[in-house]
Chain A
Amino acid sequence: MLRVSGLQTFYGDMQALHGVTLEVREGEVVSIIGSNGAGKTTTLMTISGVLRPRRGQIEFDGRRIDSLKPAEIVEAGLGHVPEGRQLFPSMTLEENLTMGACTRRARAARTQTLERVYHLFPRLRERRHQVAGTLSGGEQQMVAIGRGLMSCPRLLMLDEPSLGLSPMLVTAIFDIIQEINRGGATILLVEQNVFRALKLSHRGYILENGQIVAEGSSQQLLRDPQVRTAYLGL
């Protein structure tokens, strides 16, 4: 469904990705694991079209998307819940969600999708008129995921969705991701909570210094001695 090959992305003269290659198949949950600064966010931002790769290809449903605008990539069915949430702090919770359905396809289904999101996160319905900047961290993360769902993505990328949340909320967020996947969306997940991410995923990739250094099924990776010492602290 998503095929990334030989991706090289630069910030000015600084090369952040040195040829990232990965694949996500329809219906899967795939994790990208890597330490701070490995290039996980850069990879997702390049797939979304916010950053332009200098070399490499990105294919979605067999179509090249690496020269499309972010709007066209969203329209094609690729959603992104970014690191740090990137909400619209002065707008209300519901306006934030509504903004998620910007593209033509999503706008047509806006009312139904909004219902679905409120069904998934009942707490958000209660706070719909509250300004997003005043919500708690957990609520903001729910809004970010909800906003990502509003574009009716077939593949949803999530960048550290559990960062900074209480253990209870982390569990809730992972449950929701599973539920979204069961609802039919394919998931590409970036997480620092390696154990839980791999438990949830079918497959995983290990990213180090802008390069994929290992890949495999989640069970394989969870058993891998190097992964266990480097990322699971075992």
Chain B
Amino acid sequence: MALYVQAIVNGFLVGGVYSLMALGLSLIFGVMRVINFAHGDMMVWGMYLSYWLFVTAGVDPYLSILVTGSAIFLLGAAVQKGLVNRILDAPHEMQILLMLGVALVLENLALMVWGPDPRRVSTTYALSTFWLGPIVFDLPKVATFGLALALALGLYLFLKKTDLGRMIRAASDNQIGALLVGTDILKVFTLAFGIGAACVGAAGSLMTPFLPFSPSTGLFFTITSFNIVIIGGMGSFLGAFVGGLLVGVSESLGAVILVPSLKEIVSFILLVLILLFRPQGLLGGSR
């Protein structure tokens, strides 16, 4: 019993950062209707950037999210401005091919620069834990959860309370309407992709204290992000958030119930069930 409770707690903690990552994908899809196939690869570049800052300058990964968030923001904004904005009128398959291309370039660039071997950011607190009753908490996972939650909340407030945030939501609600009231839609697109990418870049850094990674890690997280967004409901903020926690918990339970290498199975079963019985996702509207 304690074993399962422990697994749920661990999964929940990791799920927080999954939520942040999926929020980025959901935002990009919600506004541009573009699926960011390079999502996981953008995350991996955030991880390498944190790794590099850690080994060369001793910068703590919880601090370097500022750098990685900004850098991956620029990467995402550049992809939108330089590539996606140019083919908005092209058939939809073009966007898919384009984004797959970006994913391949980013992954292979990582392979060239960093090689195929896994890296880890070995902080002094990597193995620190504390107990609450019978449950053990990993300090890095708690810190990561807290920061991911804070960033997700920050994103929520930005979207709800600021003029720019409102413009992003308006563009995702109704593009013609947004054009007619006078929003510069291409700028809004660039900003939205940048923010979505910054989320996943920061999420990458936040995971480095407990997760070894290599260039091939990207694909796994792209798939996990999809999975979460579909389970939670395409384009729904709350959906991506809840979906992240749910997938975190189900992976963690999967590792205990089955074997660790099959941990994703549980979340894929969840995905199939959602697709069968509630295809719009847990919190998705009918839109």
Chain A residues close to B by CB (< 8 Å)? 48, 50, 69-71, 73-75, 80, 82, 85-91, 95, 98-100, 102-103, 106-107, 147, 150-151
Sample (19) of A-B pairs whose CB atoms are under 8 Å apart: A50-B176, A70-B182, A71-B184, A73-B182, A74-B181, A82-B177, A85-B177, A86-B176, A87-B173, A87-B174, A87-B177, A88-B170, A89-B174, A95-B166, A99-B178, A99-B181, A102-B182, A147-B181, A151-B182
Identity of the chain B residue whose Cβ is nearest the Cβ of A69 in the assembled complex: B184
Identity of the chain A residue whose Cβ is nearest the Cβ of B236 in the assembled complex: A90
Identity of the chain B residue whose Cβ is nearest the Cβ of A73 in the assembled complex: B182
B183 near A: Cβ within 8 Å?
yes
Chain A residues lying within 8 Å of B183, measured Cβ to Cβ, are 71, 99, 102
Main secondary structure of the interface of B (DSSP, over half): helix
Chain B residues close to A by CB (< 8 Å)? 163, 166-167, 169-170, 173-174, 176-184, 285
Select A91's contact among B163, B169, B180, B182, beta carbons within 8 Å. Answer: B169
Contact at A48–B166, with CB atoms within 8 Å? no
Contact at B176–A99, with CB atoms within 8 Å? no
- Not counting A74-B180, A74-B181, A88-B169, a sample of 20 additional A-B residue pairs whose C-beta atoms are within 8 angstroms of each other reads A50-B176, A50-B179, A69-B184, A71-B179, A71-B184, A75-B182, A80-B180, A82-B180, A85-B177, A88-B173, A88-B178, A91-B169, A91-B173, A95-B169, A98-B166, A99-B178, A100-B181, A102-B182, A147-B181, A150-B181
Chain B residues lying within 8 Å of A86, measured Cβ to Cβ, are 174, 176-177, 180
Chain B residues lying within 8 Å of A73, measured Cβ to Cβ, are 182
Q: CA–CA, A103 to B176, complex, Å?
A: 16
A91-B169, A95-B166, A98-B166 known; A103 vs B174 contact (CB < 8 Å):
no
Chain A residues lying within 8 Å of B174, measured Cβ to Cβ, are 86-89
Q: Give chain B nearest CB distance to A152 CB in angstroms.
A: 11
Chain B residues lying within 8 Å of A48, measured Cβ to Cβ, are 180
Chain A residues lying within 8 Å of B176, measured Cβ to Cβ, are 50, 82, 86
Q: CA–CA, A89 to B170, complex, Å?
A: 9
Contact at A151–B181, with CB atoms within 8 Å? yes
Q: CA–CA, A100 to B170, complex, Å?
A: 11
Chain A residues lying within 8 Å of B167, measured Cβ to Cβ, are 99, 102
Q: CA–CA, A107 to B181, complex, Å?
A: 12
Q: CA–CA, A192 to B104, complex, Å?
A: 53
Identity of the chain B residue whose Cβ is nearest the Cβ of A70 in the assembled complex: B179
Q: Give chain B nearest CB distance to A44 CB in angstroms.
A: 10
Chain B residues lying within 8 Å of A150, measured Cβ to Cβ, are 181
Chain A residues lying within 8 Å of B184, measured Cβ to Cβ, are 69, 71
Q: CA–CA, A80 to B181, complex, Å?
A: 8
Chain B residues lying within 8 Å of A70, measured Cβ to Cβ, are 179-180, 182
Select A89's contact among B166, B173, B178, B179, beta carbons within 8 Å. Answer: B173
Q: Give chain B nearest CB distance to A41 CB in angstroms.
A: 11
